Structure 1
Amino acid sequence: MKTKLIVIALCLAGLFAFGQGPMDPGFRMLETGDFESAEIFFDSYLEKEPKNKTALICYGRAVGLNGKPQNASTLFESLLEEYPRDLEIQLNLYESYLWKEEFEKAKGHYQELVAENPNNFSALLGFANTLSNLKQFEEALNYINKALQLQPENSSARTSRKYMKLGLANQLATEKKYQEGISLLKEIFTDYPEDREVLLSLANLNIQAGALEEAKKSYQRMARSTRDSVIALAGIALVEHLDEEDKAALETALRAKDMAAAFGGEPEFQQAWERYVQALIWNRQFKMANNEIDRIAAVHPNANWLLALKATLGMYTGDFDKSLSSYTRILEKDSRSFDGNLGKANALFAKGEYKKAYQAAYRTLEVFPNQKDAEAFLEKLNRKFRPVVTQKGGHSFDNGNNSAFFQGTSITIPVSTRLSGTVSHQYRTTENTVNGDEAISNLFFGGLDYQILPGMLLKTNLGINQSRFAETSYTLPITEVKLQLKPMKLQNLELGYRREVQNFNAELISREIVMNHYGLNYNLGTNINLGWFTQLMHTAQTDGNNRNLLFSSLYYSVFKKPALKLGLNYQYLSFSEQLPEIYFSPESFHAYELFADSRGTLGGKLQYVLGAASGFQ
């Protein structure tokens, strides 16, 4: 886009200098961008006047702008040999380097030209635009301002300055200097009040800065026509989503889609349609979203934005293989796609392919240095593989006059993306306030977690339990082995064995009862907010007793933020022997309860968990 602006600016400057009657039709062809006709016109003209310098220059411009920049450079270089140091030829030759995107080469020549002709408008404009193409925006603005001092009302120079400021604002945003970028964008309104492109950039920078209300205002300001209103509403829908107002986002996106119906097949309609499907996904209306995706596929079967929608739907519905496939197809067609690169990283992370997720994240930042979302994703990855220290503590009591205080500390140190080690210590004191029995337990253990395959994690722990009761003490081994699996999407299965020592109260600690648990946990999620968790466990105890446990929970997710879950729990418990004088061991026990669970944040990093349940046994 910037190169095209350079071409127009210098072309006009040259044409005004060359104003000769017989060539006026050719000048107009160049001015209006009809370069193919201009090439034919000046080629014909040169048959009559093969040495006409003006015609040769215009022919060179037409050839270069008609897709043959190397031919144009060769022509201008030969002309410069014939007319050494001719300023007009130099200007066109150096501009031809821009057509070939040889910006560094052009920069050196323009630098010399400006030094020799510090008050030449075309030289200053060409140099400024060259610097802009090299993304040296601050220096470019310095020279464009010098050009505008010579011709304050020149529209080409003012347009170039606008795009330089847009480029610099984007560069500042990349450096996270959002307020500087926003201030720079607002300066453009002096030349172009309420400019559509500037308002869009302003909205984008405010989104990056987290100023969502300001972003919404920018979108509202640009809604001055039906076409612009479609883009504005699509933008506002995104802002509503970022502000966690997904219902409002869907309502706004639907308005944009309805309004865009008049522009069927045009970019505005595509953007509105895409945002509407995204809003359906945000609101977990997956069936409707899938139907819309099918409609899009019938019209745009190979579009990258269709693949991006399929990938997004897969991420929300737990179909990560489908998402990864879609993102990979996007990158096959456009290796520099932001959605494709970061989306692939997220899909790999969700699948548990962490090493590949790192590679995809670094690739994204290679293409988009300092990009905020990519850096946030990389930070999320890094947090998963940082050492973690966990400290827990609490107090419990029951109606049997038993009370306990406990605390635990664990340290987890990742060795790689597949292996981590853990060391833990748990301390517990128990007391019966009636008979005065007291006991202390110390548990020390270390463990390893190893990812065998994506979706298959082996967790092992080995340690000792040291207990002291009255004048006696003992030390017993404890162990745990778990295999965690993801057999299908939205499903989690855990198979495990755990050996532990009973330490609920002082009386039980004194009896040295070891429990061997054999268990299975299964969780089934759905895309309709329903979930089902089931636990089966058989316990063989060293006192000869055996326990069977069934726990099942059917729950419904009411809200995402704050998370609110309502459900029904059922528990069945049975012991082969009944020893009520020692511990709770019914022949058959049933419990039913309704529960509510809420989780969220209270600002900053403070989180809360609230739970309530009521039922009967």
Structure 2
Amino acid sequence: MLQKIIFLFLLTTMVLSAQSKMDPGFTMLEEGNFQEAEEFFEAYLKTDPENKTARLCYGRAVGLSGEPEKATALFANLLLDYPEDFEIQINYNESFLWAKEYKRAKPLYIDLVNKNPDQFGAVLGLANTLSNLKEYKNALQWVEKALLIQPNNLSAKTSRKYIKLGYANQFVNDQLYQKAEELLQEIFIDFPEDKDALLNLANLYLITKKVDKAKATYKQLAVTPKDSINSLNGIALAAHIDENDKEALKISSSAIAKVLHINDEELKERTYDRYVQALIWNRKFISAKKRIDSLENTMPNRNWIYALKATLGLYTGNSKYSVENYNKILTNDSTSFDGNLGKANALFAEDRILPAYHMANQTLTYYKNQKDAKGFIEKLNLMHTPTIEEHAAYTFDNGKNVAYFTNTTVEVPFSTKFRTTLSYFYRTTENTVTNNQAKSHVVLAGLHYKLLPKTLLKTIIGFNNSRFMSDSYTQPVIDIKLMLRPLKLQNLNLGYQREVQNFNADLIEREIVQHHYGLNYNLGTNINLGWYTQLMHTQQSDTNTRNLLFTSLYYTVLQKPALKMGINYQYITFKDQLPTIYFSPEKYRAIELFGDIRGTFSDKTTYMASAATGIQRVESDPNTTIFRAETSIQHQFSKRFSLNIYGKYSNIASATAAGFEFTEIGFKAKWLFLSKPLFFKSLKLQN
């Protein structure tokens, strides 16, 4: 915009000087044919080498055709001949803007404005320079001064528009959304229905999840066939943010049908991009992959296609594939936002936490205060900040056993690979019929060490001190687990646990030590089916042994809220049957149908509810109906404190050591007692 203003100054001078022989060159400059203008004025100067106007025009043509440093030198030579010439000075200053050397241009414009405070071009040039330096507050003040000199100047109003767009974006990055919206709305005073302002306003509404306003703003943009397709692309994204992915796909499909009749390759690419995203959001992974492959065949080495492939990888559990594609984006453009933050997310999915930290930080070096990048780092911080958790509950069953327990756990991560835990568990139980009472004190210390990405070793050791009536004993407690993710969408846990039965007073008195050897395996799929299996062999100090099989086949009906339904089967055998002491049938079988739903009431309040019903059979006894249910509500009072209240009921015989109906009511409170991880400073993040 400043180029046009400076050119108008020149043109006025040229007309007044009646430089008719240079008219073709003036026209070339005015129409933006800078290379031709350079050749024209270079030839002209051979016939009139000292012509000031020709030298000035030649310098502009050189600078605007891609050689700003050469133009600066040409203007500097002119200033030697005409030291105080305003036109030469302002062109000299502008040459630094062409070279994007805004810091060097700033003091030159300040000096020029001090000497020529009423020169419109100088004042507007300073405003544009400050805008390029992202000093929007000062830039806005100077553009207003320019408009005082020429109140209705379109160039100045246009500059003010772009300054406000930049200033609004700065407010968005600082999460000052109301101020950003006010600035964007002001643009409509000069430019009603301005497309740039509407697009930025729609984006602001998406960020703040004001979906209805975003959709309405996109509809305002739909004034031409091309604009209507852009609007549909935006509305599809708004539908996704509103968690209505089916609607997003429907809208995006409509945009695809329309864009086929438009001769605009860039618009077609954006529309296909949104359409494939919508396929992925709707978990139509096969269709998405076919479309991506087709697009890549016709448009190889395109960043937006690599981004689609990476997104597909994250949705299908193939995070390694995602990292590879984000690397391809960064090879093409090291500053790409999608490439940098996308790779951070993919590295997190790969369980490579330190590289994920640094990629998110690298994103912030290119995009200062960017909300998503800062939020990602905060998420990692919350996962690795020392915590203290309190779990307390009251339980009772129809065998007249009541119990209270509390469990306090402190967890301290020393790095992304290593953390320690210390917990104290206290339980008091009583049978109101026999009046037997017992208390248990369990102290545990744990070490968690990540051997490799997706490979975690958990080791817990401690002791259980149990007291009943006038007697007591102390037993060691051990819990060792190796937690693996061997292949995508698969989890495998191998473990050994040594514990003492402490469900009720009678069992505590008998000092029954259990040695559990277990395997847990979960297989996920990309077709919403999952399969979970638990195998456990238990050896007890009373010489009894138990074998347990639990398997569950489940289907994800909905993603938001997360609704799963499925069928469970359980099989248990004991070597010895001791029914008067604890539940120990020779053969126990149960089959049940279950449902589990998890969702949100608000941004800070979540809920879960699950229920299952079926039949169970103990040895050769008749089948009996079983039912279990659990529900909880959790509220996040702050980023560092949450409270969960829950209740559960079960009449499944295998759910308790005694085989009775069982109810539990309790709460869990979690507090992050430090603001950041202990190792955060050692990361040496610069942002």
Paired position in structure 2 for 1:229: 228
Partner residue, 2:304: 305
Q: Quote the offset at 1:207 in angstroms.
A: 2.3
Q: Report if aligned partners of 2:209, 2:242 keep a CA contact under 8 Å in 1.
A: no
Matched, 1:254 2:231: no
Q: Which amino acid aligns with 1:527?
A: N
1:173 deviates by 1.4
Task: Return the alpha-carbon distance in structure 1 between the equivalents of residues 71 and 240 of structure 2.
Answer: 51
Specify the SS of the correspondent of 1:543. Answer: coil
1:85-104 alignment runs, 5 A limit: 85-104=84-103
Q: 1:476-495 to 2 correspondence within 5 Å? A: 476-495=475-494
Match of 1:428 in 2: 427
Aligned to 2:341: 342
Worse-superposed segment, 578-587 or 201-210 = 201-210
Match of 1:148 in 2: 147
Task: Name the residue aligned to 2:239.
Answer: 240
Q: Is 1:178–1:208's contact at 8 Å kept on the other side of the alignment?
A: no
Which of 10, 20, 30 is equivalent to 2:6? 10
Partner Cα separation in structure 2 for residue 200 and residue 486 of structure 1: 43
Residue number in structure 2 paired with 1:161: 160
Q: CA deviation at 1:577?
A: 1.1
- Contact 1:524–1:532 (CA under 8 A) maintained in structure 2: yes
Q: Deviations over 1:170-205 (max 9, x none)?
A: 112122221111111111112211011110011112
Which segment drifts farther, 182-191 or 569-578? 182-191
Alignment-derived partner of residue 624 in structure 2? none
SS at match of 1:189: helix
Between Structure 1 and Structure 2, which shows a larger proportion of helix residues? Answer: 1
**C-alpha deviation, 1:257, in angstroms:** 1.9
The count of aligned residue pairs is 613
CA contact (8 A) 1:410 1:425 kept: yes
* Separation in structure 1 between the aligned mates of residue 571 and residue 177 of structure 2, nearest angstrom: 58
Whose RCO is larger (CA < 8 A, sep 6+)? 2
Aligned to 1:190: 189
- The Cα shift of 1:344 comes to 1.0
Deviates more, 1:63-72 or 1:188-197: 63-72
Q: Distance in 2 between matches of 1:121 and 1:599?
A: 62
Paired residues of 1:233 and 1:252 also in contact (CA < 8 A) = yes
Query: What is the aligned partner in structure 2 of residue 524 from structure 1?
Result: 523
The alignment partner of 2:260 has SS state of helix
Tell me, in whole angstroms, the C-alpha distance in 1 between the residues paired with 2:121 and 2:383. Answer: 56
Distance 1:209 1:400 in 2: 54
Cα deviation, 1:426-482, whole Å, max 9, x if unaligned, reads: 222222222222211121111011100001000011111111112111111110100
Q: Could you tell which deviates more after superposition, 16-25 or 197-206?
A: 16-25
- Tell me the CA shift for residue 265 of structure 1: 5.6
Report the counterpart of residue 209 of structure 2 in structure 1.
210
User: What secondary structure does 2:406 align onto?
Assistant: strand
Is 1:275–2:271 an aligned residue pair?
Answer: no
Distance 2:150 2:207 in 1: 36
Letter in 1 for 2:134: K
Aligned AA for 2:360?
A: A
Instruction: Please say if residues 386 and 411 of structure 2, whose CA atoms lie closer than 8 Å, have aligned partners that are also in contact.
Output: yes
Q: CA deviation at 1:49?
A: 2.1
CA distance in 2, matches of 1:265, 1:497: 63
Please name the residue that 2:622 is paired with.
none
- What's 1:537 paired with? 536
Give 3-state SS (helix, strand or coil) of 2:474's partner: strand
Matched residues, percent identical? 54
Partner residue, 2:130: 131
SS of corresponding position for 1:586 = coil
Counterpart Cα distance in 2 of 1:611 and 1:76? 77
Q: 1:567 corresponds to which residue?
A: 566
* Number of the residue aligned with 1:378: 377
Distance 1:227 1:122 in 2: 36
Residues 559-586 of structure 1: CA deviation (Å, up to 9, x unaligned): 1222111010000000111111211111
Q: Which deviates the most, 408-417 or 42-51? A: 42-51
Quote the Cα distance in structure 1 between the aligned partners of 2:198 and 2:523. 46
1:52 aligns with 2:51: yes
User: Any conservation in 1 of the 2:9–2:87 contact (CA below 8 Å)?
Assistant: no
Is the 2:164–2:183 contact (alpha carbons within 8 Å) kept by the matching residues of 1?
A: yes
Cα distance, 1:256 vs. partner? 1.8
Whole-angstrom distance in 2 between the partners of 1:397 and 1:290: 53
Aligned partners of 2:140 and 2:477: how far apart in 1? 71
Question: For structure 2, which runs of at least 5 residues remain unmatched after alignment?
Answer: 617-687
Q: 1:379-403: per-residue Cα shift (whole Å, max 9, x none)? A: 1100100112222222333333333
What amino acid does structure 2 have at the position aligned with 1:606?
T
Q: Rate the CA distance shift 1:515–1:417 in 2: closer, same or farther, 3 A.
A: same
Instruction: Tell me the amino acid that sits aligned with residue 475 of structure 2.
Output: L
Question: What is the CA–CA distance in structure 1 between the aligned matches of 2:9 and 2:247, rounded to whole Å?
Answer: 51
- 1:487 partner SS: coil
The answer as to whether partners of 1:182 and 1:205 remain within 8 angstroms in 2 is: yes
| Residue 75 of structure 2 corresponds to residue 76 of structure 1 | yes
How far did residue 604 of structure 1 move? Answer: 4.3
3-state SS in 1 of match to 2:189: coil
199-208 or 453-462: bigger deviation: 199-208
Return the alpha-carbon distance in structure 1 between the equivalents of residues 352 and 114 of structure 2. 57
The yes-or-no answer on 1:200 pairing with 2:196 is no
Structure 1: distance between partners of 2:171 and 2:325? 32
Quote the residue 2:635 is aligned against.
none
8 A contact 1:428–1:442 mirrored in 2: yes
Once the two structures are superposed, residues 532-574 of structure 1 have per-residue CA deviations (whole angstroms, 9 ceiling, x without a partner) of 0000000001101110000000011111222111010000000
**CA-to-partner distance for each residue in 1:271-314, whole Å, 9 max, x for gaps?**
11111111111111111111111111112110000111111111
Could you tell me whether the CA contact under 8 Å between 1:522 and 1:534 is conserved in 2?
A: yes
1:264 Cα deviation after fit: 5.5
Would you say 1:601 and 2:600 are equivalent positions?
yes
Report the Cα distance in structure 2 between the residues aligned to 1:403 and 1:147, rounded to whole angstroms.
81
Contact in 2 for aligned 1:178/1:206 (Cα 8 Å): no
Confirm whether residue 295 of structure 1 aligns to residue 291 of structure 2: no
- Which amino acid in structure 1 is aligned with residue 269 of structure 2? Q
Q: In the alignment, which residue of structure 2 is the partner of 1:326?
A: 325
For 2:9 and 2:176, how far apart are their aligned partners in 1?
37
DSSP-derived class of the 2:548 partner: strand
Structure 1 equivalent of residue 499 of structure 2: 500
Give the stretch that moved more between structures: 400-409 or 105-114: 400-409
Q: Output the CA distance in 2 between the equivalents of 1:192 and 1:13.
A: 25
Q: The residue matched to 1:224 in structure 2 has which SS?
A: coil
Contact 1:10 1:126 in 2 (8 A): no
State the alpha-carbon separation in 1 of the partners of residues 410 and 361 from structure 2.
28
Q: Does 1:550 align with 2:537?
A: no
Greater Cα offset, 523-532 or 115-124: 115-124
Counterparts of 2:603 and 2:57, CA distance in 1: 64
Greater Cα offset, 47-56 or 389-398: 389-398
Contact 1:137–1:168 under 8 Å retained in 2: yes
Q: In structure 1, the residue corresponding to 2:261 is in which secondary structure? A: helix
Paired residues of 2:116 and 2:122 also in contact (CA < 8 A)? yes
- AA paired with 1:443? V
Give yes or no for contact 2:233–2:271 (8 Å, CA) kept in 1.
yes
Change in 2 beyond 3 A, CA 1:572/1:431: same
> Closer, same or farther in 2 for the Cα pair 1:264/1:413, shift >3 Å?
farther
Amino acid at match of 2:249: L
Q: Distance in 1 between matches of 2:368 and 2:44?
A: 50
SS at match of 1:435: coil
Cα distance in 2 for partners of 1:265, 1:201 equals 22
Tell me, in whole angstroms, the C-alpha distance in 1 between the residues paired with 2:434 and 2:144.
91
